[in-house]
Amino acid sequence: MDLALIPNGVQRCSLKVFVPWMLLWLVILAGGLLSAFLCFYKGLNQTNMNHHFAFGLWIVFDLSLIALGAGAFFSGFLTHIIGEVFIYPYVEDLKAIINAAVVIGFICYSAAIAMLGVDIGQPLRGWFIFWHANVHSMLTEVSFCITAYLGVLTIEYLPLILSNRKLNEIRELNIFGSNLHHAMALFAAAGTFLSFFHQGSLGGLFGVLFARPFAFREGFSIWPWTFFLFILSSIAAGPSFTLLCVWIAQKVTGKELVKRSVFTLLAKISGWLLATYVILKILDTISWAYGVVPRAGLSFMDFYEGPYGVWLIVAEIGIFGIIPAIILITPRLRERNDLLIVGALMNITGIVLNRFVFTIQTLAIPVMPFGKFMSYFPTWQEWGIAMGAVGYGILVFSLSYRYLPLFPQEAELNPIRVLGKAVTDSGIVKRG
Amino acid sequence: MQFSRRDFIKFAVGGLGGTLLSPLPWKLMDDIAIWTQNWSWVPVPARGKFSTIKSVCTLCPGACGIEVRKVGSRAVKIEGRSDYPVNQGGICPLGMAGLQILYNEGIRWKAPMKRVGPRGSKRWREIAWDEALDELATRIKGLRDTGNPEKLAAIDGNQPRSTMALLVRRLLDAVGSPNYLVMPRGEDTHAMATFLMQGGRGPAAFDLENTDFIVSFGCGLFDGWGAPGRMLSAWGEWARNKDRKYLIQIDPRASNTASKADQWLAPFPGTEAALALGVAHVIIKEKLYDREFIQNHAFGFTDWRDAQGIEHKGFSRTVLEKYSPEIVERITGIGRGVITDVARKFASARAPIALAGRGKGLLPGSVYESMAIHALNALAGRVNRKGGVLIPDDLPLASWSDVQHDPVAMDGLTRERVDRAGTQRYPFTGSLIQKFTEAINSGHDSPADTLLLCSANPVHTIPDGRSFARAMAKIPFIVSLSPFMDETSMMADLILPDHTHLEKMVDIVWPTGIQYPLYALSQPVVQPVYRTKHSGDVIISLAKGIGGAVAGSFQWTHFEEALQERVRGLYDSGKGRITYDASEPVRKGLATKGSVSSPYSSFKTMWEDIREHGCWYIPSHSFGDWSDVFQTPSKKFEFFSTKIEVALKAYSKGKSFNDAILQLGIGSKGDEVYMPHYEEIKPGAKEREYPLLLYPIELINLASGWIGNPPFLNKTLFDHQLREDDLFVEVNPKTASRFGLKEGSKAMVISPKGELRVRVHLFDGAMPDVIFIPVGLGHTAYDRYLKGKGVNPHEIIDQAEDPLSGQPVWWNTRVKVRRI
Amino acid sequence: MFPFVFEWGWDAGRLIFMGLLYLVLGVISLGLLYAFVKTWLQLRSPRRK
Amino acid sequence: MKKEDRTQGTRYGMVIDLDTCTGCGVCSVACASENNVSVLYDESDKTRNITWMQLYMVTNGKGFPETEVVCIPRPCMQCDNPPCVPVCPSTATRKDPNTRIVSQIYTRCIGCRYCMAACPYQARSFNWFDPSFPEGMDRYLSPEVSPRMRGVVEKCSFCHHRLMRARAKAYADGRRDLKEDEYIPACVEACPTKAITFGDLNNPKHRVSELVKGPDAFRLLERLGTEPKAYYKSTKGWVRRMADNYLSGEFKGRG
């Protein structure tokens, strides 16, 4: 039925499979929308957040999504700036996933912004951040940058959408799409700038909390060290997340969508960045433990109590930091498919854990000497919205995959055979 | 015209661009922002003219001056008055939250109500005031017509000595019923102890402001005791003065008062009398007492011989023999060295004072204990002295004309009270609500037919209120004058709702504990919010409705007239002061003997001023001649109470003396029964089965009297006191670990009377083996902000009976805990 | 965000922040403008394909 | 950014004498009553209810019978270096340059709660619910303070409307400066023990400026650098120690 929309030279499953698949995620998205409605209608009492846990699951999710979405800007940066302006030998491999990276980025950022819209107590006044902007607030910087960057992502996404077979037939759109594509280096540059700052500001968000010794960091000029660590960790996690998404897409579709060398490249980038990050993170932790902490009159172990024990830091830096870094930078290890995936997965787990720690543990630790350690568990509405974001992401990705030429190498890697002969120019061949 | 695809795109792009460039999006955004500021469900306080009105808070007998800020006709804020002698600026949290009592629709009766469903079904019909009053008058008339006027009973929670209390009492008197009961109070115990040792019925007055050394035997001085406004402002002054008072707090728990005190002693609960006598022992032994006072003004201190020539052992020898620090240490758990030290400090202070009581003093205490503690005041010669315990001067209020008793009334008044208070069995007690309950519960038919409840909620506020509720079920007709939908009025048949304290004029005669004559008068701050009626007017209308001699005893048209008639006496006395200057605190005036003459030349102007300023007082004390001070048979301060002697002799007439005093609950023998002594009160339950003691505590920020706790006060409770609907009990960590209890554990506290579901707060400051439980929550009535929150310890109090007074002992219930 | 919103002050922090912001937004707008204009020009030109 | 000269102008602050404070809670009730603070059905939920003047209870940690308790009333600390102000993205909270009072503009607040994460004193509360008052109680609401809507953060304002009231009165009397006790917040006025002193810390004639100099004066979490203008006083060493975090052996206070 939707044959006419499917890109040239590739095969897609039948609607009988596709529709139920979509319905599943649609239901999950609907759950998210219901939760969002409840939060809008009844207020944030629908969550388990409170005065102590001013931020909860959503902020953890937002930070994680934005960190993972960094694959888009970093791939874009490598492809369009390093690859075209300078010379980058692996640019062809990058071009194989740049579309996917953009779509993933778009999904992550749009979902994050939507979640933030629910998270604030007065969503209808959300635009006050822009209107009455306080330029000294890291959150202002984050808001401006992610909003603008979502615009950039949309612009980057647009040529891909316009290259849909049907849309591409419209001359105006065709021309417009290719013109946008020509200017892509410009957008990638703007995107890189924006991303750099908001990834950093997200780290700054916590690093500047000088009255929260757990989060507070010294730094360079107005930027606390977390500013740079967040940038580094996001570009370390982004490619791994892209890798993982593509790998999952391969498993779900049962097709090889990109060459193995693409995975290797992503793993290599991710691995070296992660390794750098982990070293700096360890240095940061040590200097924090010997600087900020004793100056606040506290000792390292004062921050690890109850469910937020010292296992968290071991897990975050040790297990999910050092190990994946080793896996991803060691050619022998990353060549093994299973280890490659485990490495990427551990990498992003570590980064998500980092965002979790900065959000939740910062708030769980009482600063007042007579305060109490708090713990928090989200309500179903909070989970609903978080899962809704996942559902939304899979929906958009599935649609993009089905109807857009997401993977330039797909056709080449999966030649359609009619009577045993490879066919390159026909739209679809029904499977037997 | 052909509308091409191209045109469509142009149109769409142009339209979008045009809209974005137009003012429309900006306007919409602005409108949305404004809308979020003015949501219709967010209340917008009405504006109006600002004004303030002065009055007096009558929520407790403390009578603090308040100033109410109004906007238009609404009261918006209560503040303490600094131009009022009692509190000098401060008030307690309950008083501060007064508007939540006035305006709380969920807890107030809005009109007279008649029960339509079965009792307790909460089905009511709104009726007219005339109809309601008619019904009650007819019923009382019926009782009188059948010759049973005594079957009308009243339980009165109005402040003692107030015009309201007098009026209720007068109604019963005129109808011909002796069954006028009052809600029991700590003050009653003080009054009884001073009566037995000094003679004269009057409230106790403590010149705390002029002391330099206070030993408080359990009074929560800064936890709501006495007039909280006065106590807190006095404390503030002491705390800021470098040469401040020395305060010893005796308390089984590190209460706020104990922590503020210079020294905190924690004897086993109920052994305070022994501790006091241990202190007395050292004072006597070391001859540190005030010899002049003891020699000239005390009776029974040394050994003496009576008219029959019988030798009696004096107080001093008894104490020396029986209360050595070693013995007292065994009884109380307080080290002998500490006892000796306290005694020396007490005796060497310039103006020491010893105070008896428990918590806020809302519930009666033990008479012998009060006497033992008061004996310390006598030993130090602190009776009728500046900075000591004063014998209050009478307020010169005019009395009303005598009650007209018709034959029915005369006959009715000869009948015995249901509670037997004032009989030979309870010779010194005016009213015993517990015995009233017992009498009703033990008989087949209730001896009371119609019960009138004024300003009281006994189902909730008296120990073992469940028994009272059972008794209520047997009383054929119950009328409540409560303004609130409290537990007791929910069981009534007829509701005649009173105004709340901010809607009516009432007086408080001599606020509790104040050491100079003071008459406090509140005035209506706002118009009545609902169709309620002043209880004073209700009583007067009722009397008129009953007619005959009863009506004749109530010659007034309304309450204010009756009140004014009394106040006229203040004018006639030619004394007193109405305005107060904070720079001239009353305590200074108390240094001098004498009185202050009034500048008023007409009653009318004086009345207007009293109304406006809310008080009349004499900032001095008369310190009468020693010959008038003690109204005992010996005309002296009696360590050996002849009043007890007479009463016990009369009671034991015809029986064995020892059996008789055992019946009275007195365990001691010989002359000791007439003297202050330590009387061990044995709880009913066995220690082996119930290893812990339940000790109800009172918090200043938790209303524990008949007023339900307002929501603002819930804000101030810690989450280790109340969490969701669970009340926390304080348990010493050692005790807790013995019973497997942890912080926040849920547990049942079980006494022979019942069980309470609580949670546990581990508190180092709690005495081991004692469970401390706050009083005031556990309501089964009121609104959802109060109902079902916490539990009411009164429900499981396994009350013993205090010897002599017959009042319940509520701090001595044995319990066990079970973790759930 | 704009000089006419009343928190606006001409301090350095604000100028740097807003300057960079508007610079980036400007770059993005320029890119878009380029695409639009070029598309428009190409559509107007008679050359097909 | 220009560095603020804190010795200039008015710096309103308060000193709470913990030796005098009995923990009665009047300040808290007076505050709630003065400022139209809403009431939850479950006020025991301290993580969700709204209290501008919050009481904390601390003990000296000693066993029975050496235990002591002290209550610490905690208004907004009105920090001179407020952690909450620079983080607010929509400029909804500011430190007034003339009074140094940290204000909160409810109608500007978008409810992101970043300020709450920044404040170590838990002095800020978020309206998780629509403002509610038990039935009939909207009748005592004061028109001087606007009730807050759901979804915004609120906090102690040092009863800013009272400052306005006092200024209006002074203006009517033809004065420019306020007398020492002319403007005091509701909690200060209500404290029955007069444990709270309020005034201009920069004015040497005001009692507060003298009180904060004593050896017993301290602030909560002083070493974090928030520079609170709400001071405390206690002669008890353990209380002063309780006010901040110290490594072992670091606290050298007396008493």
Which CATH number covers residue B322? 3.40.228.10
Count how many domains chain B has. Answer: 5
Chain B residue with minimal CA distance to D195? B236
pLDDT at A423 (0 to 100): 61
The residue among B391, B426, B444 that closes a domain is B391
Buried b (16+ CB within 10 A) or exposed e, B543-571: bbbbebbbbebbebeebbebbbbbbbebb
- Residues of chain B below pLDDT 70: 1-3, 5-6, 242-243, 591-595
Chain C residue with minimal CA distance to A173? C39
**Per residue in A257-279, pLDDT tens?**
999 988 999 999 999 999 999 99
In order of B42, B63, D165, the CA distances from D144 in angstroms are 15, 29, 9
For residue B662, give every residue at least 6 positions away whose Cβ sits within 8 Å of its Cβ, in sequence order, or none. Answer: none
Domain containing residue D158: CATH number: 3.30.70.20
Residue among A44, A55, A297 whose CB faces D128 most closely? A44
Instruction: Check CB contact of A125 with chain B, cutoff 8 Å.
Output: yes
Cβ–Cβ gap D192/B229 under 8 Å: yes
Check whether A427 has a pLDDT greater than 70: no
pLDDT at A428 (0 to 100): 46
Query: Which chains lie within 8 Å of chain A at 3 or more CB pairs, if any?
Result: B, C, D
Q: Report d(CA B430, CA B288) in Å as an integer.
A: 37
- Asked if B325 and B474 sit in the same domain, the reply is no
Domain for residue B344, yes or no? yes
What domains lie within chain A, and their CATH numbers? Answer: 3-423 (1.20.1630.10)
Domain for residue D11, yes or no? no
Domain for residue D127, yes or no? yes
Instruction: Check CB contact of B32 with chain D, cutoff 8 Å.
Output: no
Residue among D152, D245, D247 whose CB faces A121 most closely? D152
Give the single-character DSSP code of B445. Answer: S
Instruction: Check CB contact of D65 with chain B, cutoff 8 Å.
Output: yes
pLDDT at A419 (0 to 100): 67
Instruction: Check CB contact of D129 with chain A, cutoff 8 Å.
Output: yes
- Asked if B501 and B574 sit in the same domain, the reply is yes
Domain for residue D19, yes or no? no
Contacts A–B by Cβ distance under 8 A: 13
- Asked if B655 and B702 sit in the same domain, the reply is no
Q: Report d(CA D218, CA D244) in Å as an integer.
A: 9
In order of A220, B202, B310, B383, B637, the CA distances from B642 in angstroms are 88, 18, 15, 19, 10
The ipTM is 0.92
Domain for residue B100, yes or no? no
Q: ∠ CA B705-B708-B711 to the nearest 5 degrees?
A: 135
Which of these, B463, B461, C45, A43, lies nearest to D38 by C-alpha position?
A43
Mutation pick from C7, C14, C18 vs chain D, by most beta carbons of D within 10 Å, is: C7
**Per residue in B486-497, pLDDT tens?**
999 999 999 999
Instruction: Check CB contact of C5 with chain A, cutoff 8 Å.
Output: yes
B contact residues 687-716, partner D, Cβ 8 Å cutoff: 700-701, 711-716
Instruction: Check CB contact of A51 with chain B, cutoff 8 Å.
Output: no
For residue B145, give every residue at least 6 positions away whose Cβ sits within 8 Å of its Cβ, in sequence order, or none. Answer: none
Residue among A132, A155, A182 whose CB faces C32 most closely? A155
C contact residues 9-48, partner D, Cβ 8 Å cutoff: 11-13
Contacts B–D by Cβ distance under 8 A: 231
pLDDT at D2 (0 to 100): 59
Instruction: Check CB contact of D178 with chain A, cutoff 8 Å.
Output: no
Check whether A426 has a pLDDT greater than 50: no
**Per residue in A159-185, pLDDT tens?**
999 988 888 888 888 888 888 888 888
D205 is in which domain, residue-wise?
42-242
For residue B651, give every residue at least 6 positions away whose Cβ sits within 8 Å of its Cβ, in sequence order, or none. Answer: B424, B425, B427, B660, B664
**Chain C hits for D1, Cβ within 8 Å:** 11-13
Instruction: Check CB contact of B32 with chain A, cutoff 8 Å.
Output: yes
- Asked if B332 and B414 sit in the same domain, the reply is no
- Asked if B739 and B711 sit in the same domain, the reply is yes
- Asked if B778 and B699 sit in the same domain, the reply is yes
**Chain C hits for A175, Cβ within 8 Å:** 38-39, 42-43
Q: What count of other Cβ atoms lies within 10 Å of the Cβ of residue A241?
A: 30
Domain for residue B332, yes or no? yes
- Asked if B498 and B374 sit in the same domain, the reply is no
Chain D residue with minimal CA distance to A140? D89
**Per residue in D186-196, pLDDT tens?**
999 999 999 99
Chain A residue with minimal CA distance to B5? A170
Domain for residue D219, yes or no? yes
pLDDT at A430 (0 to 100): 41
A contact residues 88-127, partner C, Cβ 8 Å cutoff: none
- Asked if B451 and B587 sit in the same domain, the reply is yes
Domain for residue D254, yes or no? no
Instruction: Check CB contact of B129 with chain D, cutoff 8 Å.
Output: no
pLDDT at B2 (0 to 100): 64
Instruction: Tell me how far the alpha carbon of residue D187 is from its chain's centroid.
Output: 9
- Asked if B272 and B336 sit in the same domain, the reply is yes
pLDDT at A379 (0 to 100): 95
pLDDT at C48 (0 to 100): 52
Buried b (16+ CB within 10 A) or exposed e, A198-237: bbbbbbbbbbbbbbbbbbbbebeeebbbbbbbbbbbbbbb
pLDDT at B595 (0 to 100): 66
Provide the phi-psi class of D201: left if phi over 0, else alpha when psi is between -120 and 50, else beta.
alpha
Residue among A136, A209, A369 whose CB faces D244 most closely? A369
Instruction: Check CB contact of A183 with chain C, cutoff 8 Å.
Output: yes
For residue B678, give every residue at least 6 positions away whose Cβ sits within 8 Å of its Cβ, in sequence order, or none. Answer: B271, B273, B274, B277, B323, B331, B368, B369, B372
Q: Report d(CA B558, CA B563) in Å as an integer.
A: 9
pLDDT at A412 (0 to 100): 83
Instruction: Check CB contact of D36 with chain A, cutoff 8 Å.
Output: no
**Per residue in B387-412, pLDDT tens?**
899 888 788 999 999 999 999 999 99
**Chain D hits for A136, Cβ within 8 Å:** 86
B361 is in which domain, residue-wise?
205-391
- Asked if B158 and B221 sit in the same domain, the reply is no
- Asked if B811 and B724 sit in the same domain, the reply is yes
pLDDT at D186 (0 to 100): 96
- What is the mean predicted confidence (pLDDT) over A113-126? 93
Domain for residue B611, yes or no? yes
pLDDT at B411 (0 to 100): 94
Check whether A408 has a pLDDT greater than 90: no
Check whether A59 has a pLDDT greater than 50: yes
Domain for residue D23, yes or no? no
**Chain D hits for B255, Cβ within 8 Å:** 69
Count how many domains chain D has. Answer: 1
**Chain A hits for C45, Cβ within 8 Å:** none
- What is the mean predicted confidence (pLDDT) over A329-344? 92
- Asked if B560 and B707 sit in the same domain, the reply is no
**Per residue in D56-103, pLDDT tens?**
999 999 999 999 999 999 999 999 999 999 999 999 999 999 999 999
Query: Which chains lie within 8 Å of chain B at 3 or more CB pairs, if any?
Result: A, D
Q: Report d(CA D239, CA D221) in Å as an integer.
A: 13
Domain containing residue B592: CATH number: 3.40.50.740
Domain for residue D249, yes or no? no
Domain for residue D117, yes or no? yes
**Chain C hits for D91, Cβ within 8 Å:** 7
